[in-house]
């Protein structure tokens, strides 16, 4: 209900402004089709049947100048993997203190990554999808405040953002429909740009709680293990399984080069939810591209490594069955994989681009490979 009230408030501001200011309507869309080339494997939601639903998106953005330095913005997004049900992705108001400083309040994008603000706008980047080994946090918005400061530091353009707020919703993290709550969600995002080089750093923290989905086999198993540990008076170990008001930390570093038709991007992220079943995550990608008039060809390598520190294992050797169960739960969230993507983008229209990507996912845990090919048309209007 809280989310609905934010969206309604912003839309009310937009409607009320219509008589005194022009409401601007922009939009974007991605029509994406793909399939797995392996009959018994899925990747990015694709199996060996062609689908144009998983990654297709349609969206409208409404913005209005409410005068006296106040504006309102709302973005409505319909995703194919959600049966194209339209939802408010953004809904916020902004007050400009000056040309350099502005404060926004409402539902906004979390600045986890370089392309966070444009993560749904496929036209903004060269891939069919951003590198999923890095762009893998299962939520992208928060409700709260954002203070943005733009300035010039010598020859560098500086953009500094500070956020504070929270998140409350269902996500696919440990099990299928975990109820997640992030309180005291705060962070800083700083980008420096000069000529052909852009540098970026982000640091975010939150108090994190999950209620695992008991209708999911993984959620039910972990909930059951936690109950057994508490019944066995192993409270501290049970607390290490549960995700209840645990401190979480996100670190993101990246840079981008666009020099003489040579493109190079890289991002590195770390995510840790302390004293929880969630593994410590570290991942990165490096991508090189070359621009040939209206065509960009590119190659991207991704690496993902999720694991618990070895000190968390073998804590209850006196009870072999429970020791094995806890070790199995910690090992069960481990992930180690690589992805290789080769693709091309063709800007065949000032507002449209055609893309094709071939991706090979290598799972080092199961020693398996999955290939996916996807094509898409991205539009802005």
Give pLDDT, residue 21: 65
- State the number of CA atoms in the 13 A half-sphere of 66 facing the CB: 20
Is the pLDDT reported for residue 11 higher than 70?
no
Q: Is the pLDDT of residue 242 over 50?
A: yes
| Element of type H or E holding 270 | strand 262-273
* The predicted structure's pLDDT at residue 1: 38
**Any idea what the CATH number is for the domain that residue 364 is in?**
2.40.160.10
| Band of pLDDT at residue 176, cut at 50, 70 and 90 | confident
Is the per-residue pLDDT at 207 higher than 50?
yes
**Lowest-confidence region among 4-18, 92-106, 147-161:** 4-18
Task: Note the pTM of the prediction, 2 decimals.
Answer: 0.92
> Hey, what are 119's tokens?
């993560």
> pLDDT at residue 192 above 50?
yes
Band of the pLDDT at 22, cuts 50, 70, 90?
Answer: confident
Question: Residue 249 belongs to what domain range?
Answer: 2-380
Domains: count for the chain: 1
Distance from C-alpha of 219 to C-alpha of 212, rounded to nearest angstrom: 5
- Work out the average pLDDT over 359-373: 97
317 dihedral zone (left: phi>0; alpha: psi -120 to 50; beta): alpha
- Whole-Å CA distances, 23 to 11, 20, 77, 355: 11, 9, 18, 32
Query: Percent of the chain at pLDDT above 70?
Result: 94
CA–CA separation, 72 vs 13, rounded Å?
7
**pLDDT, mean over the chain:** 94
pLDDT in tens, 137-173: 999 999 999 999 999 999 999 999 999 999 999 999 9
**How many residues does this entry show for the chain?**
381
How does residue 6 score in pLDDT terms, banded at 50, 70 and 90?
A: very low
- Give pLDDT tens digits for 301-352: 999 999 999 999 999 999 999 999 999 999 999 999 999 999 999 999 999 9
CB neighbours of residue 346 within 10 Å = 16
**pLDDT category, 20, cuts 50, 70, 90?**
low
Burial class (CB in 10 A: 0-12, 13-18, 19+), 245: exposed
Of 13-27, 164-178, 297-311, minimum mean pLDDT range? 13-27
Q: How far apart are CA 272 and CA 277, in angstroms?
A: 10
């Amino acid at each position: 209900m809280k989310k609905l009230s934010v969206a309604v408030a912003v839309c009310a501001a937009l409607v009320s402004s219509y008589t005194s200011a022009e409401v601007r309507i922009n939009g974007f869309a991605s029509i994406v089709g793909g399939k797995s080339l392996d009959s018994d494997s899925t990747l990015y939601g694709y199996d060996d049947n062609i689908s144009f639903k998983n990654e297709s998106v349609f969206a409208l953005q409404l913005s209005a100048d409410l005068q006296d330095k106040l504006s309102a913005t709302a973005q409505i997004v319909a995703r194919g993997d959600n049966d194209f049900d339209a939802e408010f992705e953004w809904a916020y108001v902004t007050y400009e203190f000056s040309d350099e400083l502005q404060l926004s309040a409402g539902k906004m994008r979390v600045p986890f990554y370089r392309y966070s603000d444009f993560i749904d706008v496929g036209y903004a980047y060269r891939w069919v999808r951003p590198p999923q080994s890095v762009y893998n946090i299962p939520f992208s918005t928060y409700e709260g405040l954002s203070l943005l400061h733009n300035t010039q530091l010598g020859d560098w353009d500086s953009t500094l953002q500070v956020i504070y707020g929270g998140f409350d919703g269902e996500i696919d993290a440990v099990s299928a429909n975990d109820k997640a709550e992030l309180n005291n969600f705060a962070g800083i995002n700083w980008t420096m740009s000069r000529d052909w080089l852009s540098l970026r750093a982000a640091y975010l923290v939150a108090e994190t709680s999950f209620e695992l989905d008991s209708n999911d086999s993984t959620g039910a198993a972990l909930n059951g293990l936690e109950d057994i540990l508490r019944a066995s008076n192993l409270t501290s170990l049970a607390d290490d399984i549960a995700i209840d008001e645990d401190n979480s930390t996100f670190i993101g570093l990246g840079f981008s080069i666009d020099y003489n038709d040579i493109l190079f991007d890289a991002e590195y992220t770390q995510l840790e939810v302390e004293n929880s079943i969630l593994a410590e995550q570290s991942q990165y990608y490096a991508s090189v591209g070359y621009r040939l008039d209206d065509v960009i060809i590119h190659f991207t390598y991704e690496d993902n490594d999720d694991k618990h520190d070895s000190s968390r294992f073998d804590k209850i050797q006196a009870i072999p069955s429970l020791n094995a169960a806890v070790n199995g739960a910690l090992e069960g969230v481990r992930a180690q994989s690589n992805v290789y993507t080769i693709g091309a983008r063709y800007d065949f229209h000032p507002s449209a681009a055609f893309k094709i990507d071939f991706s090979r996912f290598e799972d080092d845990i199961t020693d398996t490979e999955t290939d996916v090919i996807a094509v898409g048309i991205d539009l802005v209007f």
